[in-house]
Amino acid sequence: MLKIAVLVSGGGTNLQALINAQENGILKSGRIVEVISSRSGVYALDRAENSGIPSAVCPNEASILDELRKCGAELVVLAGFMKILSPDFLEAVSVPVVNIHPSLIPSFCGKGYYGLKVHEEVIKSGVKITGATVHMVNESVDGGKILSQKAVEVRPHDTPETLQRRVMERAEWVILPRTVEKLCQELSPKIFPKPMHYPGRGIITGMTPSGRIMFAYFIMGRSASSRARVFERSGDDLLIRLTGSDKTLDSSLILYAPVRVMKDCAIVTNGDQTDTVYDALTAGRTFEEALMTREYEPDAPHYTPRISAILTPSGHTQSILKRDGKYFYSYAYTPGQGRLIHTYNHDVMSSEILPSFSGEPRRVIIPDEIDEFAPALWEEFDKDNKVSLYVRYYGAGLTSYEDKLYNKEEN
């Protein structure tokens, strides 16, 4: 979820539109982390306080830049911000900056066109249509790339005040939240930079920026039978239950415990090798020794790899067993980073053999909040093929935790 800073100078009506969109779920891929005003005593600051959003008064560019860095802003939205930002500031801020302007750019824009002045000039000109524009901010005033526009009629008896209100209600408050949400979606880091319809089953292990150990496991399916499954909790373990009536599938390949927990480790796999690892550890053998007794799945012609992971307080190891060999990858925890391994390498037609995952598990970004990571990952999966997702964030060590579980058939 992208961190948004909103810059204001006055009443904050567009800020309120963003706050409302955030509360109503329209703005869901980003969250407002700070409101920065160029002036003290403006109502926009009250709106921020009423919504529990931190705020600051920054009268110059240096203090604004310092505040943006402190709050970790990844997107800056100008919502009634009455100062023109310098090219030096825009270069230094190093994140996208967008603005809402109360006209249809390129008409009635540029230096001096702000507030009621815009609507006065619209009425004077005699045009019948005006509106609002959301655009990127660059060194040219109102000259950045246009992201969205919405037209509004100009009525015969309009005053600047009535026209301003109509443009706000029918255009600004509509397109600003929607455009910010779309931009957040585009800018948000993805687990799969190139969307895959069918990565198969996958494991993510790693650590949050604040030092919490975490893992995630997901399954996908291309046939009705393979989709007819759900995850269910069993104490600290995780099981798979078949919801359909098709009994023709090899249950050993689709019904297993993806997660089993011992006192000092968590085991995550895509098959019944979970039990193999658990039994081996109980007998004093290692994760690697256990998996050397197993091989890829007997599901010709794909021969799906077996992927496995183990998390301990000191590190995490992932494994993949393929037809061409058995591979192990061990890592120390790096705050804010994880590793992703999944069974298939890229999408193919349903009639073709699925290629196995290749190379080292990929680095992925792990945020601090499970409520940010889990739903974003679930939304990233192909809506037709996703089946279930389980995410667990531990507290101190590998004891207490919070988790999120998604089953397509139940969501």
- Give the pair of three-digit tokens for residue 84: 């023109």
Cβ atoms 48, 55 nearer than 8 A: yes
Q: Is residue 101 annotated as a catalytic residue, yes or no?
A: yes
CA torsion angle 166 171 176 177 (round to 10): 90
- Give the pair of three-digit tokens for residue 143: 């000259």
> Counting every residue, how long is the chain?
411
Query: SS3 helix, strand, coil % of the chain, rounded to 5?
Result: 25, 30, 40
In the set 101, 119, 135, 342, the catalytic residue is 101
* Helix 160-167 / helix 116-125 crossing angle, nearest 10 deg: 110
Contacts of 345 (CB under 8 A, 6+ apart): 355, 356, 357, 358
Q: Containing H/E element for 164?
A: helix 160-167
What is the full DSSP assignment across 276-318? Answer: HHHHHHHTT--HHHHHTT--S---TTT-PPEEEEEEETTEEEE
CA-closest candidate to residue 34, choices 23, 24, 21, 47: 47
Q: Is the dihedral of CA 367, 372, 373, 377 positive or negative?
A: negative
Question: For 66-179, where are the E strands, in sequence order?
Answer: 75-78, 97-101, 129-136, 146-153
**Residue 199, helix vs strand vs coil:** coil
Cβ atoms 136, 168 nearer than 8 A: no
Burial 194-204 (b: 16+ CB within 10 A, else e): eebbbbbbbbb
Contacts of 217 (CB under 8 A, 6+ apart): 201, 202, 203, 204, 238, 258, 259, 268, 270, 389, 390
CA-closest candidate to residue 137, choices 126, 149, 147: 147
* Helix 13-24 / helix 43-50 crossing angle, nearest 10 deg: 10
Q: List residues with catalytic annotation.
A: 101
